[in-house]
Chains A and B, each alone.
Chain A
């Protein structure tokens, strides 16, 4: 008998049925079912009603401990009082104004003081805005054409960052993308030679946190060698820290690996859910970026800047990377032990702050998807083939409860699969 009763999602489905009539695919992108993370869809909530701390409630009133954190932005906890107070204070002063607010300057100064490789900050709204600017800057800076990517890359959904077979993408739009394998310096050298040196730069996530596979962390030695390679070849090294930023190291994930990237992209954890992103870089890249025509209607809105200052300062005060490492380790060790009790080989990979899970008893992920869906439908929100995210509002009690739900979900799946011996 399951200790945690299964949730129902009637209202979620009602809203989705309405949505499908007026919104393409109902909920597009990573927050919706279209990307296949919800298997089966009947076990998942579609829409939320409210959120607080590390929890959110769906429209059916079901409560979830949320380790997806809105896919990253929730870094301090939903509705963090300090961030919200700063944002509301700024809202009363002004938000989207003809002349940008002075808080934009303060926000840039705060980032420069925080991020080791940053001498300046350029603001936008989404991660894609910054990765796109970074690639433009690399080309403008070097006057070279090709860009290197590491296998399994994800740098947003703008045309240049998609793949040749994606709907709406012309081959010409991705013709200058060269994909090289992770952790293989020889391949990097070979690819460079194959391009006759016409390479503007390398854009990469700090470690291989791709989907559908165990995540592979990098080493300082690897990144130091890549940094040296880029320096020798005159290539711009871009760190896409959109997903990992401020969760590994408040000074930037390049700092975590003992290097300075030329350009570094931030978004998710930058302002605890207030919509902004930032491209930061070294002084040598500032003139190039100054010369690029690039802006957006809401990119200088003041409220997110105020939120970001409060968010970063609070993360510093709490030392959130240390916190996330410890909490992520405790949580995932609990999951592994709970799985073992029921005969499941749960593999944890990646950084504890952004842990990735996979049940290794079969090679199809079907068992894993079953377990994840039983967790979700009992109030523990996980994802089946994406890394997770820690936030600072998680308590020891939350971790204890999450492990209990995980254990309960393992027992439900084990009953369905007598071939798995606990």
Chain B
């Protein structure tokens, strides 16, 4: 079972949050942003759920937690409605920033379409090594952030988080992207950067393996035995993170 509120947190912070990485790493996204004359700030404020503000410039974008001063404000009546927006079945209606509506319709939509292309790739598209790499990296960042949302919001995920001791877990793909899952008083935060002093480590051997794991083609426990998934340190933290990973697949399926 999934719940709409947790999914809304994942959709906002993990899925839309990956726009940050997309704009940084993808040449097509950069082209889209390049046309932006002035910075635009968009705020999603979900009733009974998450709120975040994304600032777009011609060089990239950054997401900030919470409702901040913005050019475009999109209040959403419920978590279910927000999830509908992400699924493309509900149209977002801004209450502020009508003069910037063109940004939403053109730039923002082009970016999210590009993100969808990478996050829900066709088998054909994955045959291109560069596309495959970018798709896997985007998925990695989305999953990294989703881990924290599930640990904080989902009822069963909260149980996993409740068993985790304080400290940083390094979550990484060898010679690829890395993230830090920080645990403090059973609350989780994802930092999209390598852990400096991790208490536990989970590292995938390569992009292909990570992709296969993310898509459920192989199992992490088998890979631990084969040595292609390296785990070290306070393994109870990794063990519980693994249970969160299991639920990520449920939410992002």
Which residues of chain A have a CB within 8 Å of any CB of chain B? 16-17, 20, 24-27, 32-34, 36, 39-42, 46, 163-167, 171, 211-212, 363-366, 369, 385
Contacts and interface: CB of A to CB of B under 8 A. Distances in A.
Interface of B, helix, strand, loop or mixed by DSSP: helix
15 contacts: A16-B226, A25-B225, A27-B225, A33-B225, A36-B231, A39-B235, A40-B232, A163-B159, A164-B156, A164-B159, A167-B246, A212-B235, A365-B235, A369-B233, A385-B235
A167 B163 CA distance: 16
Given A34-B221, A39-B231, A42-B227, A211 B243 contact: no
Contacts of B55: none
Contacts of B236: 211-212, 385
Query: Chain B CB within 10 Å — which of A32, A34, A363, A364 has the most?
Result: A364
Contacts of A42: 227
Contacts of B200: 364
Contacts of B221: 25, 34
A20 B218 CA distance: 11
B243 A364 contact: no
Contacts of B198: 364
B68 to A, nearest CB: 34
A41 B224 contact: yes
A318 B231 CA distance: 42
B156 A366 contact: no
A173 B166 CA distance: 29
A110 B40 CA distance: 81
B199 A363 contact: yes
B226 A366 contact: no
B156 A364 contact: no
Contact of B233 (A33, A166, A365): A365
Nearest to B162: A165
Contacts of B219: 24-25
A41 B156 CA distance: 30
A142 to B, nearest CB: 27
B71 to A, nearest CB: 41
Contacts of A167: 243, 246
B213 to A, nearest CB: 14
Contact of A40 (B230, B246, B247): B230
Given A165-B240, A364-B167, 11 more contacts: A20-B225, A20-B226, A25-B225, A26-B222, A26-B226, A39-B231, A40-B227, A40-B230, A41-B226, A364-B198, A365-B234
Contacts of A34: 221-222, 224-225
Nearest to B238: A36
Contacts of B167: 363-364
A33 B159 contact: no
A25 B223 CA distance: 8
B132 to A, nearest CB: 25
A27 B224 CA distance: 11
A29 to B, nearest CB: 10
B157 interface: yes
B230 A364 contact: no
A369 B159 CA distance: 27
Interface string B192-224: 000000111000000000000000000101101
B130 to A, nearest CB: 31
B234 A41 contact: no
A166 B235 contact: no
A208 to B, nearest CB: 15
B21 interface: no
B239 interface: yes
Nearest to B156: A165
A20 B231 CA distance: 19
A165 B239 contact: no
A306 B240 CA distance: 42
A171 B226 contact: no
A365 B222 CA distance: 23
A391 B90 CA distance: 67
B243 to A, nearest CB: 5
B232 A39 contact: yes
B18 interface: no
* Those 4 A-B pairs whose CB atoms lie nearest each other, nearest first: A36-B235, A33-B225, A34-B221, A364-B233
Contact of B243 (A39, A165, A171, A366): A165
B157 A26 contact: no
A211 B165 CA distance: 13
B160 interface: yes
A369 to B, nearest CB: 6
A204 to B, nearest CB: 18
Query: Chain A CB within 10 Å — which of B157, B198, B224 has the most?
Result: B224
B224 A36 contact: yes
Contact of A41 (B160, B227, B239): B227
Contacts of A366: 232-233
